[in-house]
Amino acid sequence: MVNPNGPLAGPDGELVVRRWNRDPRCVGRARAELRKALADWGLAQIEDDALLVVSELLTNAGRHARAAVGREIETRYVRLSAGVRIEVHDAAPGRPEVLPLDPERDCGRGLFLVAALADRWAAGERSGPGKRIWAELTVPTESGSSHGG
């Protein structure tokens, strides 16, 4: 089991770390990086869900993390024994919350989707200022879905 507050390392050191500015185009680039990592790791089965998760987390960071110039947003993709851990680090101190679904609102569904798609997710501390949001997705077993939600 991965310690959500400890150092990151995949079982074989399989880790992809990238830094992004708050430009919305970075979401597509981050998706491409994750798609490549998942293909390299033989995890194409969870690609669709993983790409949606990284899109939501990175979009939230870019939209809400009002950080100083030069404080990029960081993504980390860690190969787990049966899946992937997606992390988004930003320098903003506030913690995100899952909002109740409101059909009248145009936004606010991102973390609801992350919670529905991921097996586990949380927000936590990081080294340096700000926070780390992470989500873990695993390949479904033959008996059905691996998702908790």
Low-confidence ranges of the chain (pLDDT < 50): 1-9, 148-149
Residue whose C-alpha is closest to residue 98's, from 116, 124, 74: 116
CA distance linking residue 26 with residue 22, whole number of Å = 7
CB contact at 8 A, 26 and 59:
no
Residue 89: CATH number of its domain: 3.30.565.10
Find the domain containing 126 and state its range: 15-138
In a domain, 115, yes or no: yes
Give the residue ranges of DSSP H helices in 5-46. Answer: 26-40
Burial group, residue 139, by CB count within 10 angstroms (0-12, 13-18, 19+): middle
In a domain, 9, yes or no: no
In a domain, 40, yes or no: yes
Residue whose C-alpha is closest to residue 94's, from 63, 131, 56: 131
In a domain, 75, yes or no: yes
Number of domains forming the structure of the chain? 1
pLDDT at 76: 94
In a domain, 61, yes or no: yes
pLDDT at 8: 47
In a domain, 55, yes or no: yes
CB contact at 8 A, 119 and 138:
yes
In a domain, 74, yes or no: yes
pLDDT at 107: 61
Which residue type does 143 have?
S
Q: What is the dihedral of CA 28, 34, 40, 43, to 10 degrees?
A: -120
pLDDT at 143: 63
pLDDT at 149: 45
> pTM, whole model, 2 decimals?
0.80
In a domain, 4, yes or no: no
